[in-house]
Amino acid sequence: MRVVLRLLIVIAVPLVLVMGTVRLLTLPWYPAWEYSKPDFPEDPLAMAPVERLRLARACIAFLNRPRGAANLAELRFADGTPAFNAREIGHMDDVKRVYDRLTTTAALACIIAAIAIWWLVRKGHTATVWGALSDGGLITLCLLLGLGVWMAVGFEGFFTAFHGVFFADGSWLFDYSDTLIRLFPLQFWSDAGMLIAVAVACMAFGLALLGRAVQKRIMNHES
* pLDDT tens series, the chain, 223 aa: 889 999 999 999 999 999 999 999 999 999 999 999 999 999 988 899 999 999 999 999 999 988 765 688 889 998 889 999 999 999 999 999 999 999 999 999 999 999 999 999 999 999 999 999 999 999 999 998 888 788 777 777 777 887 788 888 777 888 889 999 999 998 998 899 889 989 999 999 999 999 999 999 998 887 6
Q: For the chain, what's the residue count?
A: 223
Task: Work out how many domains the chain is built from and give that number.
Answer: 1
pTM (2 decimals)?
0.87
Exposure class string for 134-152: b at 16+ Cβ within 10 A, else e: bbbbbbbbeebeeebeebe
Q: Which residues does 219 contact at the CB level (< 8 Å), separation at least 6? A: 127
Exposure class string for 178-192: b at 16+ Cβ within 10 A, else e: ebbbbbebeebeebb
> Residue 55 belongs to what domain range?
2-222
Give the model's pLDDT for residue 108: 97
CB of 137 closer than 8 Å to CB of 208: yes
Give the model's pLDDT for residue 14: 96
Give the model's pLDDT for residue 167: 82
